[in-house]
Amino acid sequence: MAEHAHSERFDSQMFIGGQWVDAVSGATFDSINPATGAVIATVPRGDVNDVGRAVAAARDAFDSGRWGQATSERERSRLLFAIAEEVRRERDALAELEVLDCGKLLADARADIDEVAFMFEYYAGWATKLAGDIPPVGPHAMSLIVNEPVGVCGLIVPWNYPMLMAAQKVAPALAAGCTVVLKPAEQTPLTALRLASIVERVGVPAGVFNVVTGFGVEAGEPMLTDPRVDKISFTGSLAVGRHIQRTCADQLKRVTLELGGKSPNIIYADASLAEAISGTCSGVFGNQGEVCSAGSLVLVERSIYENVISQLAEVASEIRLGSGLDPDVTMGPLVSSAQRDRVQGYVASAPSDGARCLYAGDLPSDPRLTEGFFVPPSIWEVDDLAPRIAREEIFGPVMTVTPFESVDDAIRLGNSTEYGLAAAIWTSDIKKALTTARAIRAGVVWVNDSQPAPSESMWGGYKQSGVGRELGPYALDAYLEKKHIYINLS
């Protein structure tokens, strides 16, 4: 992909079997700048034929041993380190491309790209440390437990953190010795293609890493049903995740699903309110609310309730909407017109559903942004969790606030959602913090913080928030099979 200035429109191709190719059908689709509604790129609209080509390339690269067997662990490690170095070298261009494609703030995009580089470094280190085990089975035999790559992996990533989510799957898969077919979200295909150019440049063997751009039904679905694909890893909505699990069940295909969330954010009266208010707002309004772990279900102890909702509204009123490339802007557009309309639908129906508006922001006044997909931040008071905006994942800058009476009440409300991805707890009482953290049914619980997700640790949810874990050494398990080799020594 050629270098470009942010004012230019550019075109690109898919990356399959080490080659840059158009869709077999010749079909294309446009990538839109969500801040302006302008077309910034035209990319191939892949379908079952293109997925078939990519899977065949990945299958051949794996079965021939060009990656998992013939390429040593040291060589895999070296290449992953080289990818990290190139990502870091292209940091500013990648971050700008991410802003243009998905609408986030430039500072946030730069932080994402920094983490992408680190993630490839982190798993580069793991590539040489995937040791097995020798369990004791008596004096007359030996048991060897060895790790082997699961095979060809179909990786389907969302549009809210396009390159970060891609790296979160690609890096451990490659470190484990798998080959991959990456399908970026149709709304945000551009940094995945730029990653392909980096992979090509550093010398990863052809077929090991492939990118197919296109829509879910056309380019994602074929990976679910193709028997040559051994593993699917998906991050996205609950509805699609359920469909993926059902479809893959016919082949007993390995599946990792990181799905939605409706994360409780619990503020106790003994919390440091300045930190709690700031963290709560960033945990809901950060990345335009397009965060699966957004702490949008805000629960506040009754004795400080009025004070807290006043301060939340004050912080929200200081948010400035606009293009993510504008350094004075603090919230960008939503990713697409469809997502904007979806979020606006929740907001429009909230009053009739029993919610009371505490704060509603304004659209940007810049006439250049009138075609952008902006939704102002809003805060809604709900007495219980019956309204849809208090129960369903919105994926936009919408916060609900509900008072609670006690620790048990906070836990009950926090566990009332069908999701279980994350939760935040604000308190200065360590006993209260640990009691609540242990009782909340969520895969990630933050105490006096909101939204950190270090690559060295773990990510994944309980209940309807998914299956399996990502990040840290835990991600590697998703891309490895364990084999028992029994040797009779008698």
124 Cβ contact partners less than 8 Å away, ≥ 6 residues apart: 76, 77, 78, 79, 80, 81, 84, 171, 175
Cα(210)–Cα(199) distance, integer angstroms: 10
Cα(323)–Cα(341) distance, integer angstroms: 19
Question: CB–CB of 244/234 below 8 Å?
Answer: yes
**In 150-261, which ranges are E strands?**
152-156, 179-183, 209-211, 231-235, 254-258
Provide the β-strand partners of residue 142: 487
191: its two tokens: 């940094």
Please report, for residues 104, 170, 213, 284, the alpha-carbon distance to residue 245 in angstroms, rounded to integers and kept in the order given. 30, 20, 22, 29
Question: CB–CB of 47/186 below 8 Å?
Answer: no
For residues 16, 20, 24, 26, the Cα torsion angle rounded to the nearest 10 degrees is: 150
Cα(272)–Cα(87) distance, integer angstroms: 38
Cα(236)–Cα(157) distance, integer angstroms: 7
Task: Give the single-character DSSP code of 204.
Answer: P
What is the secondary structure of 425-471 as a DSSP string?
EE-S-HHHHHHHHHHS--SEEEES------TTS-B--EETTEES-BS
Cα(89)–Cα(103) distance, integer angstroms: 22
Which residue type is seen at 397? Answer: P
In the chain, count of helices (H) and strands (E)?
15, 22
Catalytic positions: 258, 292
335 Cβ contact partners less than 8 Å away, ≥ 6 residues apart: 34, 102, 103, 159, 160, 187, 188, 290, 373
Provide the β-strand partners of residue 360: 378
61: its two tokens: 């690269």
Q: At what angle do helices 106-126 and 162-176 cross, to 10 degrees?
A: 10
> First CA to last CA across the chain, in angstroms?
61
